[in-house]
Structure 1
Amino acid sequence: MIRRILVTGTVLTVLFFVLGIRLSGRLDLIASNPNPLIRHFAPTWRSLKKILDVPYILASTFRSSDLPIYHITLSASDRARLIDNLPNYPRENRLTEEFKQSAKAEFRSDNYFTDDARVRYRGVSPNHWNAVKKSWQINLPDESPLGARTVYRFFLPEDKGWVLAKLNEYRAKKFGLLTPEISYAWIAVDKVDAGIYYLIEGWEEYFLERNKHPIGPIFANENVSTTGVDLYRASSIDLWENRFDPNRPGHEYEALAYFLELVENASDEEFEQALPHSLNLPKFYRWMLVATLSNSTHQGNIANQNVYFNSADGKLEPVSFDTALARIDGPIDLSKTRLVNRAMQIPRFRAEFTALVRDYVSNPANLESDLAFYDETKKTITGAIMDDTKKVQTSFEVFRLIQSEREIVEHNFQALKKMVDSDGGLNFKFAEETYPLARRPFQKNLFVSFISTFATRDEFLARNLQFRAGKENNTIILSAGTHIFARDVIVPKGQRLVIEPGSTLQFAPGVSLISYSPIEARGTAQSPIRIGRLVYNIPWGVFAAVNTDGENHFNYVYADGGKDDTINGIYFSGTLSFHDADIEFTNGSVARAGADDGIHIQSAKGIIRNSTFSQNSMDAIDIDFARGEDSIFENNIFRETGGDAMDLSFSEMTIRDSTVTDCGDKGVSVGEASNPQIKNITVTRCFFGVAVKDRSHAIISNSSFKENKVGIGLYRKKPYFVAGGTAEIINSIFQDNKEKVTTDEFSSVQIHEK
C-alpha cells in the first residue's frame, strides 16, 4: 500500500512538473484574461507553479548572492494608495502619467538612509505592475544623493531579458555610445524580499557628465498611448520631450524641428546631403549595430526613442537603451523605424553601415567576447535567480530563457556574417512609403541657418558680400577694412575662413558669426583685428567656431561688447565661443562681455597666452571638457571680472604666470572633476583666490594670494559628486586674506610651506 502511494505520488509529481513546464506559458495568460472570474485565479496559479522551483531553492543553499540590497519602507496606507492608483488592468493596460502617483518612503542601502524618498511603480507595460513583484522608481532628495544619483530605477529583469540588457550595455560601451549604467540589485519592500532587479541609471545630468558630454537635451517620446503615433513626422514634434525639462514643448527645440522635417520631407538628395550635418553618423551606425545584432525594432516610430543633442558639435546622437531581441530568419525589418529606413535606402549610408557590420562579424573574437560576457553575467546572478520567490517565471523558465536568448545572440551574429559573406551585403525589408511623406516640399525656408552649414563656397559668397574667394578652392577671405554685419553669418563646413590683419568687424545688436570651418584670424601689433559693436552700448551676439576639422588661430584679436546667442539649437555663452573647435588665442583681449563668458571653450583644446580680459560681466574664460591634457592659460591679465577669471569643469590643464585683480567670485574655479596644475599666479581682491570643488584636485605652486576673502577654498558644491575638493599647495604666499585656506567635511588640503 505504501509502495503504491509512493509510486502514485511520484507519478503525479512528475506529471505536475511536466505539465507545469509545458503549460506554464499558456496558464500565465490567465492574468490578462478579460473575464474577471478567470483572472481571479491568476495569483493561485502563480503560487502553484512555484512548486516547480523547489529543486532550485534547494540548490540555492549551495550558492551565494552578493547583490547590493535596497530597502523600501512605506506606510500601509501609502502602499494601498499606490496599488489603488494602478490602471484597471486589463481594460487599462498602460501606466501613463495620470497613474504615476508617488508616496513618501524610507529608503536604505548599507550606510545610506533617507526618510524623504518619493517612490512609485514604473513601467508603461502591465508586466511591470500587474503581479506581486513590480518595477519601482525611487527619487531621492537632491541634497541627499546615494552615490552620484538621486534617481534609482528598478526594472523586472524579465522585461529586458535576464542577461540581454547587460549584454547590450556591454556592446554599447564597447562601441563608445551613450548608454545608461545597468547593474543587478536585490530589493526588500516593507522588510519582505521582492527579489532580483535590474538597477538602471536614471536620466540625470550626471549621466552626460560622467560620459564627458555637455549638458543638453535628451529627446524622448512622451509617455502617451502609442495608438496612431508616428514620431518621425514634423507634426509630431510636441509628442517629444526633453528628459531634463519635460514641461518645455518640443516645438521650442529648433534642432529637433529641423531633424523631423528632414527625415519626413527631404528628397533623397537633400537627405543625403544634410543628414551628416545633423546626425552624428559614426555613432548612429554603431547604435544601429547594437540593434541589428539583436534584430531589434523596439526603438521605432511609435516609442522608445532617446536622442541626445550635443551642443559641442551641434549634432544629434542616439542613446543605446531598451534594445529587444529577435531571431534573424530573413531580411532585417527596418519598416518600423523611419530614420533607419530612410538612411539605409541611401547607397552611401548603406555601404558605410555594411562595412561596419562586416568588420564586426568577420572577427570571431567579437562573438567569443560577447558570449563570454553573457556567460559570466549569468553566473553572477544564478544564485539570486534561484533565491527570488517573487518572480512570475519559475527558475526553470528563467534559465531556459537565458539559454534560448544566448542561442539567438550567437545565431544572429552568424546570420549577419552569412549575409555579408555570401549575399554580398545586408538584406533589408523597407517600409512601403515614399518621400516627402507630407506631400509637400522640404521647408528649407524655415531652416536657412541649418542648411547654411553645408552650403558651397559660391552659395556663401553670394549671400555674404563682405567676403571674397581665396586662391585656394576652399578659402574664404575677409579683407582688411571695416565690415558691418546686420544679420547672422554662417560659414559652412569644408572651408577655411581667413580674416586679414587690419580687419574691423562691427556687429549690429544681437548679430553673430558662426563658423563650421577653421578660422585664421592672425592680426599683428600694428594691424590688429577688432570685433565689436556697431551700436554704442548695445551688445552684439557671439563670434563662434563649431566642430571645425582644424585648429583655430587668433592673434592680436580684440573683442569687445559681445553677449550670447542660440543658433542651430546651440547656446553660445561666450563672446568668443569654441565648441569642438581647438583654439589658440594669443596677444588679444576680450572686454565687456555681457553674458556668462568672455571666452567659452567646450570639448576642445584651449591655448590662451599673453592676453588681457577686463570688465567682463561674469566669467572671463570658461573651459568645459578640455580635450586632452595640453590646454594652457599663461601670461594673461584679468581685471574687474564680475564672476570668475578662469572657470574649469571636467578639465586637465595648466594655468601659469598670470595675474587676477578685482574679480567678483574666484580667481580660478576648479570644479567638476578637474585636475589643473596652477603655477606662479597672483590673485588679489577676489572672493576666493582659488576654489577647488566637486571631486577636483589642484596642485598650486609658487603663487600669491592677497586681500581675498578666502585665499584657497575647498568644498563640495554639488552633492552628486560625493567628494569635495583636494589640493596640494606648494611654496605659495598668503597676505592679508580674511581666511587663508578653508575646507569642508568632504575636502582636504596639503600645504608645503617654503
Structure 2
Amino acid sequence: MLRLIFTFVLLVFAVNATAACNFTTANFLSELNNPKSIEKIEVRVPKSAKFARNFTKILISKSKNIPPELKKNFKAIVTVKYEFGSCSYDAKVKQNGDWKDHVSFIDGGQPLRSLNVKLKEGNILNAVKFKLLLPETRNNLNEVLGSVFMRELGFISPETFQVNTEVNGVRSLMLFQEDLRKELLERNNRREGPLFEGDENLLWSYEGFENFELESLALSRVSNDKWFLKGGSSQQITLSAYSLLQTAYLDYSQNIEARKDHIIFPNNRESSVFDDYFFALFAMNGMHALRPHNRRYYFNSFTNLFEPVYYDGNINLHEKVSSKKAEAYIINAFKVGYKFPYRNTFLDKKFANTSLDEFKNRVVISDEEAKRFFDKALSQTNISIESYQKKIDKRAVFSSEFEVSVSIQDSYLKKQKEFGVKQTNITLSEITESGFNVLNVNGEKHSLTVEELALVVSDNELKDSRYTLFPNTISNVEKLDSEVTRLQLFGGDILHSKNLSLEIDQVAKKIQIQQQTSKDWVLFRHVSLKNWSISFTGSNKSLPSDEAQTQRFNRYGMTGCLNFYQTKFESVKVSAVDGACEDSVNIVNSNGNLDLIRITRAYADAIDIDFSEVKIDKVEVSGAGNDCFDVSGGHYNLNQVTLSNCGDKGISVGEKSQLNANNLVLDNAVLGVSSKDFSEVKINHAIFNSVGVCLEAMQKKQEFGGARLLVESLECEGEYIQDSNSIILREVL
C-alpha cells in the first residue's frame, strides 16, 4: 500500500486563501455540495435598530406593494453552520419581494421578512447571491420539489431548499433560493450567456397608474448587463437575442386576452422547449411562473434558441389547474398533435427515486413525511399529465397563431400615447467603433455608448428618462444564420462558417476540415459519432491585429475552431493542426469515449472540455500558446497523456470537476497540473521535465472552495503551490 503525506511539508511557498471557514474545504467536497449538510444560516445585521425601522416602514406603507425605495442595503455577517464546522462571510442584505406577504411576524410578535443576500466573500452551495424566503410566499415544500422536478427534466432551475435560520436573533424556517446568475447556469451545465426577464417597472408602483394597468406596454429586459459590457461578442449575441425576445413580448402585450395572460413564443414554433416547459408547469399547477413578467430566459448560443429558467411558480403539486382554465390553455398554447415528451419520465422508477432522494436532501422534515408529500405530489402530477394529454389529443384546432408585423408596433405606440407614458422608443441602426447608432420613431439618428445602451436594455432607462429598444425588422440572429452553412447529419447537424472547407468520406468514415481564414469554425451539434476520424487543419496564418478577439468566443458563441455540443462519442479520433482560435478543440455537454485527441501548434488552449463526461484513451498535444488540456464542470478519465511545449499549464482542472489519469508525460510547461475550485484530480504516474511548478491546488473563484490533487508517483523537480483550503497528496519518494 502506498504511503501518502500532505505535500504542504514540501511546499516552496503557499498562497493564502480566505480564512472564513474553520475547516479545510477540500476535505468536504461532497458535503459542501449537499444542502443536508447545512444545520443553520445565521444573519446578523449590526445596525439592528435601522434594520427594524426599515421593517416597520415597509409594514405601514400605504401601497399594496413594497415600495422600491425601502429596499435598502444593510451590511451583515452571514454564518453558515455545518455539522463539521462553520463559515462566516461579510455580506449585504435587503428586503426581497414585490408584495407585503414577504413581511410577517412569528410567535411572540417577532419580525420576519424575506431577504436578498449578497456575499462579499465565500459562497453557500456555490451561490454568492441568493434569497432567504418566507416559506409561504413560495408554497414551501411545493417550491422545493417543483424545482427538483424541473431540474431533473433538464430545465434550468435554481438550487432551492429549506433551511433553519436566525436573523438578528429571530429563529425561523426559510427557503434558500439562489439568484439567476452565472453560478446557476454553470450548476445547470450551461455556459455563461445572456439572461433576460419580463420588465416589471411599469406593472406596479408606477405613479398615476393602478397595478398592471400598463401591462400592454411592459416588454422585456436584460438581467446580466455586466456580461453585455464584457466585449463585442457579448454585445452582438445579447442584442441579437434581445431583438427576438422583444418581438415576442410586443406580440404578447398587444394580444394579452388572446394569449390568456400566460402564452408567449420566444422561439420559432419549430422548437418545442417552451411548449414542454408550459406543459410541465401546467401539470404541476405552477402557472404563476408562466406569466410573462415572471418569466426568466437564457439564450443558448450553441442552439440559437432561448431556454426557460424556472422561477416563482407558486406550484401546488397536490391540486390540479381548474378545468375552465385548462381548456383555455390547451386550445391556445399547444399545437394540434403535441405530445409531452416527459410523460413516461414521470412514470419511471429511476426518475422517482432520484427525485425523492434530491427532495429529502433539501427539506428539514423527516424522511417519512417527505415520502408522503412526494408520493401524493407525483401521483397528482401523473394524473394531470394524463388528463391534459388526452384533451390535447382530442383537439382539432389550434387558435393561437404567432404574428409579428409593423401593425403590432403601431398598436403599441398608439396605446403608449393613450396612456400618456413618456417613453422614447429606439431601434438599433448600426454598430460603430465607439458604440451604437440608434434611430427613434421619427427616423432621427442618435449615438449611444456601450454603457448607455446597457442601461437601456437592462433598465429601460437613460438619463433619468424611460427608453425602450424595439426589435429590428430582421433580427441579427437571422443575419448570422445567413452566414452559416448547415448540414443535417449523424442524427443532428453540422454548422460551419461559409468559407470553411468540409469533406466527408462516408466509406472511410473520415471528415477533413480546412480553414480558409483564421475566423473559420465548425460545430457538431446533437450528433452521434461512432468510429469516425475527424481532422482539422488551420489556415496557418497568424491572427492580424485587427482581427484579434476581445473575448474568448466569437459572435456565434464559439470558443473553438472545432466544436462539439451535446455529442455522443464512440471510438472517435480527433486531430487539429494550427488552430488559430481560443481553443483548437472545444467539447461541451457531451459524453462517450474517444480513442485519440491529437493537437499540434495550438494558438491558445489546445483542448477545452466543459460539462461533459468522457473517456479518452490517448491525449497528445505538441505546442499550445496557453493550456494544453483544460477541463471544467465534468467527469474525465484519461489513459495515456503526452504533452509538450504548453505555454501555461499542462493540465488545468476546475469548477467541480473530477479527473483521473493513468500515465502523464509532460515536457516544458509553466505549471504541470492545476486542480482548482472544488475539483478532485487523481494521477497514477507522472513524469515532468522543464516544469516550473509541478502541482497546484487552489481556490480561484468566490463561488467555489479548495481542491484536491493526488499523484501516486511523480518525478518533478519544480515547486508546489497550495492554499489553506486545498490538499495535495503524493507518494513519499
TM range (shorter): 0.5 to 0.7
Give the deviation of 1:647 after TM superposition.
Answer: 0.6
For the residues of structure 2 that align with 1:542 and 1:748, how far apart are their CA atoms? Answer: 39
Would the alpha carbon gap of residues 305 and 514 (structure 1) be closer, same or farther in structure 2, given more than 3 Å must change?
farther
Structure with higher helix content: 1
| Preserved CA contact (<8 Å) 2:41 2:164 | yes
Q: Matched residues in 2 for 1:748 and 1:378: separation? A: 31
Instruction: Verify: 1:122 aligned to 2:96, yes or no.
Output: yes
Correspondence 1:706 to 2:689: yes
Match of 1:673 among 643, 656, 659: 656
1:178 aligns with 2:156: yes
Corresponding residue number in structure 2 for 1:532? 516
Give the conservation status (yes or no) of the 8 Å contact 1:497–1:519: no
1:148 pairs, out of 123, 126, 149, with 126
Write out aligned runs for 1:15-414 (5 A).
68-80=40-52, 82-83=54-55, 86=58, 89-91=61-63, 93-96=65-68, 98-110=69-81, 111-114=85-88, 116-129=90-103, 132-142=111-121, 144-193=122-171, 195-226=172-203, 238-242=220-224, 245=227, 252-259=238-245, 261=247, 275=268, 279=271, 281=272, 284-324=274-314, 325=316, 328-333=321-326, 343-344=333-334, 346-348=335-337, 351-353=338-340, 380=365, 414=383
Greater CA deviation, 318-327 or 545-554? 545-554
Match of 1:690 in 2: 673
Alignment pair present for 1:576 and 2:558: no
Whole-Å separation in 2 of the counterparts to 1:363 and 1:587 = 36
Q: CA deviation at 1:643?
A: 1.4
Q: Which residue of 1 aligns with 2:583?
A: 597
Does residue 629 in structure 1 map to residue 614 in structure 2? Answer: yes
Shift of 1:197: 1.4
Deviations 1:247-267 (A, max 9, x none): 89999342343355368669x
1:620-649, Cα deviation, whole Å (9 max, x unpaired): 1111122x3334543x2322x221011111
Q: Which amino acid aligns with 2:223?
A: E
Query: Which amino acid in the other structure matches residue 624 of structure 1?
Result: D
Query: Secondary structure of 2:538's match?
Result: strand
SS at match of 1:446: coil
TM-superposed CA distance for 1:669, in Å, is 0.9
Offset, 1:123: 0.7
1:611 paired residue among 591, 598, 604: 598
Q: Distance in 2 between matches of 1:165 and 1:223?
A: 22
Report the secondary structure of 2:712's partner residue. Answer: strand
2:156 aligned counterpart, secondary structure: coil
- My pick for the range that moved more, 687-696 or 408-417, is 408-417
**Alpha-carbon deviation of 1:570?**
4.1
* Aligned equivalent of 2:4: none
CA distance in 2: counterparts of 1:587 and 1:175, whole angstroms: 31
Output the amino acid matched with 2:615.
D
Which residue of 545, 570, 590 maps to 2:524? 545
Aligned residues: 593
1:566 Cα offset (Å) = 10
The gaps in structure 2 that reach 5 residues or longer are 1-37, 106-110, 205-210, 253-263, 410-470
Could you tell which deviates more after superposition, 546-555 or 210-219? 546-555
Retained in 1: the 8 A contact 2:118–2:130?
yes
Q: Indicate conservation of the 8 Å contact 2:45/2:74, yes or no.
A: no
For 2:660 and 2:354, locate their aligned partners in 1 and report how far apart those are by CA, in whole Å: 40
> What is aligned with 2:474?
446
Change (3 A) 1:424 1:158: closer
- 2:285 counterpart letter in structure 1: N
Alpha carbons 1:334, 1:430 under 8 Å: kept = no
Is the contact between residue 229 and residue 301 of structure 1 (CA under 8 Å) also seen in structure 2? no
Partners of 2:553 and 2:144 lie apart in 1 by 38
User: Is 1:559 aligned with 2:543?
Assistant: no
Deviation at 1:667, TM superposition (A): 0.9
How far does residue 687 in structure 1 lie from its aligned partner after superposition?
1.4
Bigger Rg over Cα: 1
Q: Residues 75, 609 of structure 1: CA spacing in aligned structure 2 closer, same or farther, 3 A cutoff?
A: same
RCO higher in 1 or 2 (8 Å CA, sep ≥ 6)? 2
Relative distance call for 1:710 and 1:446 in structure 2 (3 A) is same
Provide the C-alpha distance between the structure 1 equivalents of 2:725 and 2:699, rounded to a whole number of angstroms. 6
CA contact (8 A) 2:599 2:621 kept: yes
* TM value normalised by structure 1: 0.65
Q: Which amino acid aligns with 1:676?
A: L
SS across alignment from 1:323 = coil
Query: Structure 1 stretches of 5 or more lacking a match?
Result: 1-65, 385-401, 454-462, 464-487, 500-506, 534-538
The normalised TM-score by structure 2 is: 0.66
Q: Secondary structure at the match of 2:137?
A: helix
Return the offset for 1:491: 1.1
Deviations 1:200-259 (A, max 9, x none): 2233433233333333333222442326979999x9665343487588999934234335
Identity of aligned residues (%): 17
What SS does the aligned partner of 1:68 have?
strand
Aligned-partner Cα distance in 1 for 2:682–2:219: 48
CA separation of 1:133 and 1:569: change in aligned 2, threshold 3 A: farther
**How has the CA–CA distance of structure 1 residues 157 and 244 changed in structure 2, closer, same or farther, with 3 Å as cutoff?**
farther
| 1:492-539 CA-partner distances (Å, limit 9, x unpaired) | 54689999xxxxxxx9xxx66699xx9837999x99753233xxxxx4
Residue equivalent to 2:33: none
CA distance 1:289–1:209, change in 2 (3 Å): same
Change (3 A) 1:630 1:126: same
Secondary structure of residue in 2 paired with 1:703: strand
Residue identity in the other structure for 2:514: R
| Cα distance in structure 1, aligned partners of 2:601 and 2:703 | 34
Q: Which amino acid aligns with 1:629?
A: V
Equivalent position amino acid for 2:179 in 1: G
The aligned counterpart of 1:727 is: 710
Amino acid corresponding to residue 101 of structure 1 in structure 2:
K
> What is the identity, as a one-letter code, of the residue corresponding to 2:653?
V
CA contact (8 A) 1:575 1:599 kept: yes
Alignment root-mean-square deviation, CA: 5.2
